[in-house]
Amino acid sequence: MRNEPTPQQIAEEKIYRTFGLNDEEYTKIVSLMGRQPNYVETGIYSVMWSEHCSYKSSRPVLKKFPTQAPHVLQGPGENAGIIDIGDNLAVSFKIESHNHPSAIEPYQGAATGVGGIIRDVFTMGARPIALLNSLRFGEIEGPDNAHNRYLFNNVVAGIAGYGNCIGIPTVGGEVVFDDRYKYNPLVNAMCVGLLTHDEIATGTASGVGNPVLAVGARTGRDGIHGATFASTEDPHSKERSAVQVGDPFMEKLLLEACLELIASGAVVGIQDMGAAGLTSSSAEMASRAGSGLELDMLKVPRREEGMTPYELMLSESQERMLVVMEMGKEHIAEEIFQKWNLEATVIGRVTDDGMLRLKEGDEVVAEMIVTTLVDDAPVYHRPSARPSYLDQTLEFDPASITAPADLNATLHTLLRTPTIASKEYVYQQYDSMVRTSTAVRPGSDAAVVTIRGTRKALAMCTDGNGRYVYLNPRRGGQHAIAEAARNVVCSGGKPLAVTDCLNYSSPEKPEIFYQFEESCAGMSEACVVLATPVISGNVSLYNQSNDLDIYPTPIIGMVGLVEDVDHITTQTFKSAGNHVLLVGPSDTAGISGSEYLRVVHGLTAGDAPALDLHVEKAVQTAVLTAIQSGYVRAAHDLAEGGLAVAVAESAIGGKLGAQLELNTNQRLDEVLFGEAGSRILVEVAPEALAAVEAIFAKEGVSSTVLGTLGGDALEIRVNGETVISEKVAELESTWRGAIPCLMN
């Protein structure tokens, strides 16, 4: 007899509460089952109904995202979304968070985040071709921030350790440092895969009698209740045992074996055993097919003797998949997996009775209606209230601060800020070149990966600015989409679709739910205008500790198509004598919400920077047309740090100076460091200037020639007065040296 509480004890002693179920949810389970659930069943309901698996707080909001377009082959709801890129080719991608585990065990937390997202993509039948990530940490400067440096170092090492070993290039990402993330670092990982239309696989368990196989690693006692853990308020109050350990070598073998298996044509459905392991994979696969499953717990390959059905069902051991094969073709799986030294074991069958039935031999140990696990999960329409802090932040008056006298020094200060400084320290730890398809490596606006045998390439990036969302949730949401799309355009790609990772604090706080709801509405508006539907995503809530909420931080993963490799464009200046143009609104709309205001004046205040989505669309269309026409030598999005930082970055990358002249009646700090959206810096040869200006005029987009490239210094004159004058090599030394200097 197992030492597990009886159904009566679970009810009377309210043991379900320790699983994260509240009284109301438990009562609902009892009424759905018509009896009290036993220990295994209580565990299974608790993970299926956890925020992480059921999206019970976020579902009503997520439903509002635009998800349809002719090029969308698979929208949200599967392991990853898929878009069509022509020529029978398709791209599958998704982003996912691993914030809570990374806060506790940064190396393994980040590594298993990468492992999980890779499985989501190859499950769809796609060959993973690129990884990206988006990271947030507390400040890393000074003796008090050793823990933040530890988290930063180990998260980066964990991402590197997994991605490098499995041989998928990490081609892009972003890192932002702000003390809002000091207790809750954000680790979001994205994977992009390539497949042909006929290779698409899905996570469905159909066909009565078809065998269900557990493949890959054996099941151990690690990570039990990880999904529930990720749905609680404070990761630090939880145990380390809820964090899993990754094995990228095992995953490399699993990846190759699964792709070979899918290619055999004998697979009915396949799904990663990710969060909530065997529980969610079996329930979701059955739910999609409207079928049932009967699994024999005694047949599940395990690492340890004596594991109970409860442990087997809730383990989050990594590198495992659940596969449904066509009846009689089990041997195909066994042969392929044997070649890769892996196990493929039949653990059950598909049924037509709509039940998830678990047995130990002949004894039924759990029996639940599949739809009650998936569709009947509670949905909460959380109350929403406009945050009171907005009254204060919106009161900000730029006249209350004085622009610095030495703007050269201010530019150095910004270039030295870890959020703006070179991230070479990070990305040189990632193998960005393996698979020899990376045409634009990390450090430009969007990475570009070529597609062998075609002239096409994919541009991809991750983007998000939590501070903007904090200051104006709706516009901040618009910014996230707009900037991601702008980055793809700057690299020569047409933005096609979005995957989103929505990182917020507790949805049970009305002010946080307001941030969530409003920012998602803003994202939707931008997705509609820019014609980039959401095809996949993930929600991470409860990112709060010690009364500190993270900034509301939706991270956008954007993928675009570069029609011809000749269109690939980078941000670095190319040749002396060429013109530099600023495309987009010339009014910077002030310094509100800017990195400059935060770093130089210590203020997070004002509104989010200005953004007009229709201007944004026109600017992106105009610049992409100019790039495709062959007129643009370099393109760079204006982001954190505004015009001055963007020009400095392009100059540093090209080791080439620039002499620029601006005429304006705005404040100097606004002109140089304001962060209004929809602005792109482009380099154009003199002979192409007229043609480029004609394209911009046709699209109704304003553009200004700022000056020309040449020499070894960056000089910016405003209204005839020199305000920035500095050797590019000096700027480079500050920018490149900043993070190594803080870390060593």
Partner 1 sequence: MKFAVLVFPGSNCDIDAVKAVEDVLGQPVDTVWHTTADLSDYDCILVPGGFSYGDYLRSGALARFSPVMEAVKREAEKGKFVIGICNGFQILTESGLLPGALRHNDHLQFRCEISPLIVENADTAFTSDYKKGDVINIPIAHGEGSYYADEETIAKLNANNQVVFRYFECDPNGSIERIAGICNEAGNVLGMMPHPERAVHEWLGSADGKALFTSILKSWEGRQRA
Q: Which residues of this chain interact with partner 1, rule CB under 8 A?
A: 157, 160-161, 164-167, 247-250, 252-253, 340-341, 427-436, 438-439, 441, 450, 452, 565, 568
Decide whether 160 or 187 has the Cβ nearer to partner 1.
160
According to the annotation, is 96 in a ligand binding site? yes
Burial of 693 (0-12, 13-18, 19+ CB in 10 A): middle
Q: Tokens 């994205």 correspond to what residue? A: 190
- Nearest distance from residue 155's CB to partner 1, in Å? 13
Strand blocks (E) in 285-387: 292-296, 320-325, 343-351, 355-360, 363-369
- Nearest distance from residue 115's CB to partner 1, in Å? 13
- Nearest distance from residue 452's CB to partner 1, in Å? 7
According to the annotation, is 316 in a ligand binding site? yes
Decide whether 161 or 292 has the Cβ nearer to partner 1.
161
Residue of 71, 98, 236, 579 with catalytic role: 98
Q: Are strands 292-296 and 632-637 parallel, antiparallel or unpaired?
A: unpaired
Decide whether 170 or 621 has the Cβ nearer to partner 1.
170
Distance CA 347, CA 561 (A): 42
Contacts of 322 (CB under 8 A, 6+ apart): 212, 213, 214, 215, 270, 271, 272, 273, 278, 281, 282, 285
- Nearest distance from residue 495's CB to partner 1, in Å? 22
- Nearest distance from residue 596's CB to partner 1, in Å? 31
According to the annotation, is 99 in a ligand binding site? yes
Decide whether 427 or 514 has the Cβ nearer to partner 1.
427
- Nearest distance from residue 132's CB to partner 1, in Å? 15
Q: Tally Cβ neighbours within 10 Å of residue 363.
A: 10
According to the annotation, is 538 in a ligand binding site? yes
Distance CA 128, CA 195 (A): 9
According to the annotation, is 94 in a ligand binding site? yes
Distance CA 158, CA 106 (A): 7
Q: Which residues pair with 555 in a beta bridge?
A: 501
52 is catalytic: yes
Decide whether 175 or 377 has the Cβ nearer to partner 1.
175
Distance CA 503, CA 557 (A): 13
Decide whether 175 or 672 has the Cβ nearer to partner 1.
175
Tokens of 601: 């004046």
Distance CA 183, CA 99 (A): 10
Query: What is 608-646 written as a DSSP string?
Result: PPP--HHHHHHHHHHHHHHHHTT-EEEEEE--TTHHHHH
Q: Are strands 447-450 and 534-540 parallel, antiparallel or unpaired?
A: unpaired
- Nearest distance from residue 429's CB to partner 1, in Å? 5
Q: Which residues pair with 271 in a beta bridge?
A: 322
Decide whether 254 or 535 has the Cβ nearer to partner 1.
254
459 residue type, one letter: A
Q: Is 693 left (phi over 0), alpha (psi -120 to 50) or beta?
A: alpha
Query: What is 147-169 written as a DSSP string?
Result: HHHHHHHHHHHHHHHHHHHHT--
Sequence length of the chain is 744
According to the annotation, is 537 in a ligand binding site? yes
- Nearest distance from residue 165's CB to partner 1, in Å? 4
- Nearest distance from residue 364's CB to partner 1, in Å? 39
Decide whether 308 or 432 has the Cβ nearer to partner 1.
432
Tokens of 581: 């143009």
Decide whether 434 or 548 has the Cβ nearer to partner 1.
434
Judge contact between 255 and 118, C-beta under 8 A: yes
729: closest CA among 651, 667, 624, 616?
651
According to the annotation, is 578 in a ligand binding site? no
- Nearest distance from residue 425's CB to partner 1, in Å? 9
Decide whether 146 or 433 has the Cβ nearer to partner 1.
433
According to the annotation, is 349 in a ligand binding site? no
567 is catalytic: no
- Alpha helix ranges (H) inside 539-681: 595-601, 613-628, 642-654, 668-673
Decide whether 384 or 429 has the Cβ nearer to partner 1.
429
- Nearest distance from residue 157's CB to partner 1, in Å? 7
Q: Are strands 553-562 and 457-463 parallel, antiparallel or unpaired?
A: antiparallel
Tokens of 273: 């055993």
Residue of 52, 479, 567, 636 with catalytic role: 52
Assign 3-class secondary structure to 73-126: EECECECCEEEECCCCEEEEEEEEECHHHHHHCHHHHHHHHHHHHHHHHHCCCC
Q: Tally Cβ neighbours within 10 Å of residue 581.
A: 24
According to the annotation, is 147 in a ligand binding site? no
According to the annotation, is 244 in a ligand binding site? yes
According to the annotation, is 318 in a ligand binding site? yes
Phi and psi, residue 471, nearest 5° = -80, -30
Q: Tally Cβ neighbours within 10 Å of residue 560.
A: 27
Q: Tokens 């170092």 correspond to what residue? A: 153
How does DSSP classify residue 561? E
Judge contact between 275 and 227, C-beta under 8 A: yes
Tokens of 704: 């200004």
Indicate the annotated binding residues for Mg(2+).
96, 120, 272, 538
Indicate the annotated binding residues for ATP.
55, 94, 500, 537
Indicate the annotated binding residues for substrate.
97-100, 119, 244, 316-318, 540
Indicate the annotated binding residues.
55, 94, 96-100, 119-120, 244, 272, 316-318, 500, 537-538, 540
Active site residues: 52, 98
